[in-house]
């Protein structure tokens, strides 16, 4: 990981609208988005709409967002270097490729004017795509608690997107930490067929890194008013990290199933593929993770290396979204369970979310699509998780 140690309502401002919707801070003009942990509050904004300062409600964590003209610096690392120099920060900056674009990551410490407590944190700089500017995001905390806040800070910085494709690609911190580019072939047995699929060699490690980090953030909200939103964000970020890691697997599975599915149902082969995928995961060996997060990484689930309801449902979401089918994850603290939701025509239990009536599927019992246990049928006890 190079020289860094990584631990496993709207406001419209001049020139650059910063939109705040519970979980997200974004600029529709410049095309960037931050899926921050719940509880950040905008405290200051520059008159030109190019600088923003946020503070968290109950964590001693702050965030600063700054945009510079694309012609002001030749590279993003120079924008980061100049930003850190202006606040008198000491630290290290390293450049890397993030989703095909040059970006820079920084770990730093500095002293705020009038504040005797030193600050320490992490940052990312990158050029936006929609309206090119050098975007610098800094997230930091009092230095004496920065180590305790590190997972929270990394989660905030890693939630950055600067292009539409980023919503289904690993964030900048995860990409920086796991960027070997090597791949491996894994064996999958599905619908009586054995096939080999290519996945990144670091897919399991990367997935575990994000799950453990995001679970440590999630636990902070157990007694907070934003607990439900924090739960939704947790699964959203796990899905985001895993989606592109399973590109090769999704293609191999589709190639193995699509011919039979098209023959059986020419009008809707995706329905037949979904049936086969559901039966496949229902036959997985049931195993809950023994660590605190209780969720296995999806690369391991794909290989039937232990899974339970939410990891299986997330895997199905990833695969069916690859095939162009809308999905939704449903979780319930009341039932301690998760269901897979899919937008396909088939009889059975459904839950409506934002105009889409999702068919519910049980992933841990060998039952047909649309069948849900009677004692778990109260829709108000299910929380929907919109996936990016």
User: Range with the lowest mean pLDDT among 303-307, 340-344, 383-387?
Assistant: 303-307
Q: What's the confidence (pLDDT) of residue 306?
A: 87
Question: What pTM value is reported for the model?
Answer: 0.93
Separation of alpha carbons 117 and 361, rounded Å: 52
Q: What's the confidence (pLDDT) of residue 24?
A: 80
Q: What's the confidence (pLDDT) of residue 23?
A: 52
Q: What's the confidence (pLDDT) of residue 20?
A: 44
Please determine, for residue 2, whether its predicted confidence score (pLDDT) is greater than 50.
no
Strand partners, 194: 189
Query: Coil, strand, or helix at residue 81?
Result: helix
Average pLDDT over residues 10-35: 64
pLDDT tens string 24-62: 899 999 999 999 999 999 999 999 999 999 999 999 999
pLDDT tens string 170-225: 999 999 999 888 999 999 999 999 999 999 999 999 999 999 999 999 999 999 99
Please determine, for residue 16, whether its predicted confidence score (pLDDT) is greater than 90.
no
Please determine, for residue 9, whether its predicted confidence score (pLDDT) is greater than 70.
no
Ordered by where they begin, the domains of the chain are 18-177 (3.40.1000.10), 183-385 (3.10.620)
Specify the higher pLDDT residue, 292 or 118. 118
Confidence of residue 92 (pLDDT cuts 50, 70, 90): very high
Please determine, for residue 303, whether its predicted confidence score (pLDDT) is greater than 60.
yes
Please determine, for residue 13, whether its predicted confidence score (pLDDT) is greater than 80.
no
**327-332: strand order across its sheet:** 350-353, 356-361, 337-342, 327-332, 383-385
Sign of the Cα torsion 84, 86, 87, 90 reads: positive
């Amino acid at each position: 990981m190079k020289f860094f140690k990584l631990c496993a309502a709207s406001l419209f401002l001049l020139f650059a609208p910063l939109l705040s919707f519970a979980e997200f801070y974004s600029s529709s003009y410049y095309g960037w988005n931050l899926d921050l942990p719940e509880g950040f509050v905008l405290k200051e904004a520059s008159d030109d709409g190019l600088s923003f300062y946020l503070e968290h409600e109950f964590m001693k964590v702050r965030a600063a967002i700054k945009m510079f003209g694309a012609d002001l610096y030749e590279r993003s690392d120079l924008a980061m270097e100049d930003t850190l120099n202006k606040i008198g920060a000491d630290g290290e900056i390293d450049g890397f490729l993030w989703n095909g674009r040059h970006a820079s990551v920084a770990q730093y410490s500095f002293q705020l004017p009038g504040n005797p407590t030193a600050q320490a944190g992490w940052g990312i700089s990158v050029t936006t795509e929609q309206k090119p500017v050098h975007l610098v995001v800094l997230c930091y905390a009092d230095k004496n608690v920065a180590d305790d806040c590190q997972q929270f800070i990394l989660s905030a910085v890693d939630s950055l997107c600067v292009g539409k494709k980023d919503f289904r690609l690993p964030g900048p911190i995860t990409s920086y930490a796991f960027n070997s580019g090597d791949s491996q072939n894994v064996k999958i047995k599905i619908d009586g067929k054995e096939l080999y699929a290519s996945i990144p060699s670091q897919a399991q490690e990367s997935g575990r890194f994000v799950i453990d980090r995001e679970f440590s953030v999630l636990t902070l909200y157990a007694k907070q008013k934003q607990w439900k939103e924090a739960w939704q964000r947790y699964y959203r970020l796990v899905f985001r990290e895993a989606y592109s890691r399973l590109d090769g697997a999704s293609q191999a599975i589709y190639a193995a199933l699509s011919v039979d599915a098209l023959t059986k149902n020419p009008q809707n082969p995706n329905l037949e593929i979904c049936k086969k995928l559901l039966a496949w995961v229902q036959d997985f060996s049931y195993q809950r993770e023994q660590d605190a997060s209780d969720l296995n990484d999806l690369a391991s689930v794909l290989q039937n290396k232990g899974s339970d309801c939410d990891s299986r449902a997330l895997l199905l979401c990833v695969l069916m979204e690859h095939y162009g089918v809308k999905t939704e994850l449903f979780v319930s603290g009341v039932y301690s369970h998760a269901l897979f939701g899919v937008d396909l025509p088939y009889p059975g239990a459904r839950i409506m979310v934002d105009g889409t009536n999702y068919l519910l599927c049980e992933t841990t019992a060998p039952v047909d699509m649309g069948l849900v246990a009677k004692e778990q049928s109260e829709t108000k006890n299910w929380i929907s998780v919109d996936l990016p």
